[in-house]
Amino acid sequence: MSSLTLTAKAIRRSILAATAASVAFSGVAFAEDAPEKVERIEVTGSRIKQVDMETVSPVTVIDAAAIAMTGEKTVADVLNNSAINSFGSWRGVSGYGSGASSTSSVNLRGLGASATLVLLDGRRMPGTSSSSGAVADTSSIPMSIVERIEILRDGASAVYGSDAVAGVINIITKKEFDGVQLDYSYEMPDVEGGDAERLSIATGYNTDKGNITFTYEYYDTKAVMDRDVWKLDDPSYGAYSTFSSVPNGISDSGWVDNSEFCDQVDNTVLNSDGRCLYSYGEVTKLFGDSTRNSFLTNFSYDITDDIQFRGRATASLAETETRYAGTPVSTNYPVMSADNPYNPYASTGGEDVTVYMRSVQIGERDTLTETNNFDILAGFVGFADVGNGLDWEFNVQSSSSTTNSFGYNLINDSIIQREIDTGNYDIFNTSGMSYEEWNGQMSELYGAAAHTGVYQGKFESTQIDGLVSTLLIDEGDFSLAMVAGAEYEMIDFKQTSDPESAAGIISGGSGGDDVNATRDRTAGYLEFQMGLPANFEVSAAVRYERYEQEGKLTGATGDIVNSSTFDAVVPKLGLSWRPVDSLLLRASYGDSFRAPNMGEMFSSQALSFESSLDNLWCNTAGNDDDTYCDPNQQHKTWFGGNPNLEAEEGNSFTVGGVWNVNDDWNVEVSYYSITYDNKIESVGVDDILRDELREGTSDFVTRGADGKIEYIESGVRNIATVETSGIDFVTAYNLESSVGDWNFKLDLSKVLDFKKQDNAESAMIDYSGSTDYPDLRGNFAVGWSYDDFSAAWTTVYIGSQSAEYWRELEEYDNYTDYDTYFKHNVQFAYNHSMNGSITVGVNNILDEEAPTYYDYADYRDVNVGLYDVLGRTYYIRLSQRF
């Protein structure tokens, strides 16, 4: 292949000094006297390879050295600390089904994980089964394979396709490695548990014809219990449940209790009305035990001077063990009939008693989740001497993601009811048994009804794609380069739960949201880059994308097949200008769209238990039940797919500039504005109950004879519109001194507004600066190196937040304001003479505590997706190269 490739000619035949903030992490500066002919490079945001690192789209680059400086243990944690991850991201915690407890995601600009596209070496990562393949699991990416992370900070559906609404994360893996490198790290937080261990081995071999690299990583982290994070010993702590290990009952005459056993059962307290309440946070895991084995190989081989074969294979095999409190028998409430011999009202003729019980006697709800991801890519890259030259590539990629989840100690409600009806179980101890006798009887009852829930999700994708690029015109100050490509992808997605869970007779799980669907995606795109006089450059891209989806639901009357087609033409246009070599001004506009995923459209009804305050009942005079009227009271909620969904649409606009003040100092400022229409969202329980309170009734809420909620019907709909804008600021400065080389970097993201409209009737509400919506985030990093020694200090900043809006709503009157949050990380490293290094560090060295939602202590009342809840964490890293 020629040393001067065709597309490089289309960009000015010079390397401008301004590479600016996107390479500031590594402190790299290009000399102004660069040679005229250089090799082109790949830059996230365009499929046309560039000479210049900066393009019309703003891109943040975090290289391996900068990743190491953060002291974070996973790619997910690094991304979560990014300033443009405005409101935090999902981190897997116990208590979520479909394998979600073992996954993490990234949420650029606060528009949702499904609006952020994650790429691995420029290609889509397979999605998780818990998201129907729509969201990639960023925790599955081994740190040891990452060369750099590039974050495209504007919409790019025209370049990369659907889902790139808020931006694109492109994770670039290590290639052309030569030799052997061993890395080991261990970290230990102050909080009990959370210890993490990583071992990686990387090896590579290069020849004149090509290279091959192989990386293996073992990663293990221990569980963190909720009781070690939340303030359970605070007198104001009140996260207790009526579904107790010592059952409570309710009848027309009021509550039935078994209070004499309260003080004999762990984690159970006596309420003022005689009921035994269960403190579920005492036994649950916040973060589970997790083990992952990851493999990566990259290879390339020059078949001829102009044709190269390349490939990549990755595998990630993970197991996660999470724990939730013992099962509350609440999917179908058991009832002790009036004629039961152990009915507490037997002496007065009997009354039906609804039983609130929890199967603590057989153990907690433990879930084992196995997640296996595989991805294989093979393709050819070539050059043809046609016209001004023709670059081309052709690829085949096959990906699969399988999740197997086993939920232990769930309860079969039908068996519980059947056993109670036998009259063999004295649940309320009307016969005066000893605690040991009663407890043995309850263990026998729960043991007869114990159930293991089984869930499997499988996502399979096969993609064929190709592109050609050429230099169409090259005449002095005018040049025009073009790339054209096409993609075809076939996707199968299936998730199933065991038949009993799907039938809605199992308590403690979330089965029932079964999906059996296929999707075919066809796309074609064009991209142009035009060089104009006076150092102007115009970029334009257009893409046509079509989704054909079909879902099958098997019912009593046979298979029901639903199908939908979504297609769109989305453009993107950009303009840049260099009035002087050191200054780049740029602007871009692009449309975007996202087709509904297969789960959103085709999933069957699934059961969940959502926490919310029933203001309609609790604010009615005469209704008095402190436990039921707790904001954390869980309500039975049914979710399901919606085959009538429409595609989401959006557009984004960015404008800004990059200024290389001198060889050591650069500055970037960018303004962004994004509109996201027809957004698909799950109708929240809070919203449904709020609408019911306003209207006096709701078709989505079913209440019992006592007026309390029996169940809520929720789901997904095209209901939301989001408008957000803000400013990104990045600056970096390099300083050489007699006491070492220094590198300073500051990046800030200011959210000017984040307006959301939840339905056509509601008003646009600006949430920026409100609780969980910080309007300012930033990071500051200082690096120092001198001979074989180096050190780093990084600070994560999250701005203060006001709860005023939420306090105006009666159900959130206990919300607190959040103070500004600073997390400081420090590390020291030594490169020894045996070609290795030793690094020690402390994250959150000042042990900064995350703010809490309420003015009282409560269960999981911290946003774990936004804040660090593990406290001060110590770590050591050893690296050795051979």
143-147, 378-382, 572-576, 785-789: lowest mean pLDDT where? 143-147
Local confidence band at 132 (pLDDT 50, 70, 90 cut-offs): confident
pLDDT over 90 at 880, yes or no: yes
Report yes or no: 851 and 862 within 8 Å, Cβ to Cβ.
yes
Local confidence band at 861 (pLDDT 50, 70, 90 cut-offs): confident
What is the average pLDDT across 783-803?
A: 95
Using CB atoms within 10 Å of the CB of residue 557, give its burial: 0 to 12 exposed, 13 to 18 middle, 19+ buried.
exposed
Q: Is the dihedral of CA 63, 64, 67, 69 positive or negative?
A: negative
Structural domains of the chain sorted by starting position, each given as residue range(s) with its CATH number in brackets: 6-234+283-335+361-605+640-682+715-881 (2.40.170.20), 606-639+683-712 (no CATH)
Give me the pLDDT at residue 38, please.
44
Local confidence band at 16 (pLDDT 50, 70, 90 cut-offs): very low
Give me the pLDDT at residue 30, please.
33
In order, the DSSP letters of 259-304 are GGGGGGSTTEEE-TTS-EEE-GGGT-EEE-EEEEEEEEEEEEEESS
pLDDT over 70 at 227, yes or no: yes
Specify which residues 881 forms β-bridges with.
Answer: 181
Give me the pLDDT at residue 810, please.
65
In order, the DSSP letters of 682-709 are E--HHHHHHHHHHHS--TTEEE-TTSSE
Give me the pLDDT at residue 245, please.
93
Q: Give the Cα separation of 34 and 19 in Å (integer).
A: 13
263-272, 499-508, 807-816: lowest mean pLDDT where? 807-816
Place of tokens 């982290």: 221
Using CB atoms within 10 Å of the CB of residue 624, give its burial: 0 to 12 exposed, 13 to 18 middle, 19+ buried.
exposed
Phi, psi dihedrals of residue 602, rounded to the nearest 5°: -120, 5
Structure-block tokens of residue 470: 């050429």
pLDDT over 90 at 2, yes or no: no
Give me the pLDDT at residue 469, please.
94
Q: Give the Cα separation of 548 and 551 in Å (integer).
A: 10
Local confidence band at 697 (pLDDT 50, 70, 90 cut-offs): confident
In order, the DSSP letters of 319-383 are EEEEEE-S-B--SS--EE-TT-TT-TTGGGT---EEEEBB-GGG--EEEEEEEEEEEEEEEEEEE
Report yes or no: 200 and 144 within 8 Å, Cβ to Cβ.
yes
Local confidence band at 243 (pLDDT 50, 70, 90 cut-offs): very high
pLDDT over 50 at 22, yes or no: no
Local confidence band at 452 (pLDDT 50, 70, 90 cut-offs): very high
Q: Give the Cα-Cα-Cα angle 388, 390, 391 (nearest 5 degrees).
A: 140
pLDDT tens for 314-372 read 999 999 999 999 999 988 889 999 999 999 998 888 899 999 999 999 999 999 999 99
pTM of the model: 0.85
DSSP 8-class letter at 136 = B
pLDDT over 90 at 699, yes or no: no
pLDDT over 60 at 35, yes or no: no
127-131, 221-225, 703-707, 716-720: lowest mean pLDDT where? 127-131
Specify which residues 172 forms β-bridges with.
Answer: 148
The edge-to-edge listing of strands for the beta sheet with 116-120 is 59-63, 146-152, 167-173, 116-120, 123-124
Rg of the chain over CA atoms, in angstroms?
Answer: 29
pLDDT tens for 471-493 read 999 888 899 999 999 999 999 99
Give me the pLDDT at residue 760, please.
63
The edge-to-edge listing of strands for the beta sheet with 606-611 is 606-611, 634-639, 709-713, 701-703
Q: Give the Cα-Cα-Cα angle 870, 875, 878 (nearest 5 degrees).
A: 155
Local confidence band at 6 (pLDDT 50, 70, 90 cut-offs): very low
Q: Give the Cα separation of 451 and 412 in Å (integer).
A: 6
Structure-block tokens of residue 101: 């407890």
pLDDT over 50 at 21, yes or no: no
Give me the pLDDT at residue 807, please.
83
Q: Which residues of 103-113 are buried (b: 16+ CB within 10 A; e: fewer)?
A: bbbbbbbbbbb
Give me the pLDDT at residue 811, please.
61
pLDDT over 90 at 102, yes or no: no
Using CB atoms within 10 Å of the CB of residue 682, give its burial: 0 to 12 exposed, 13 to 18 middle, 19+ buried.
middle
The mean pLDDT of the chain is: 87
DSSP 8-class letter at 115 = G
Give me the pLDDT at residue 32, please.
38
pLDDT over 90 at 823, yes or no: yes
Instruction: Bin 350: left if φ > 0, else alpha if -120 < ψ < 50, else beta.
Output: left
Q: Which of 812, 816, 813, 814 is nearest to 803 (CA)?
A: 816
Q: Give the Cα-Cα-Cα angle 794, 800, 801 (nearest 5 degrees).
A: 140
Length of the chain: 882
Report yes or no: 364 and 284 within 8 Å, Cβ to Cβ.
yes
Give me the pLDDT at residue 511, please.
65
Give me the pLDDT at residue 26, please.
33
Local confidence band at 52 (pLDDT 50, 70, 90 cut-offs): low
Return the percentage of the chain with pLDDT > 90, whole number.
Answer: 55
Give me the pLDDT at residue 556, please.
44
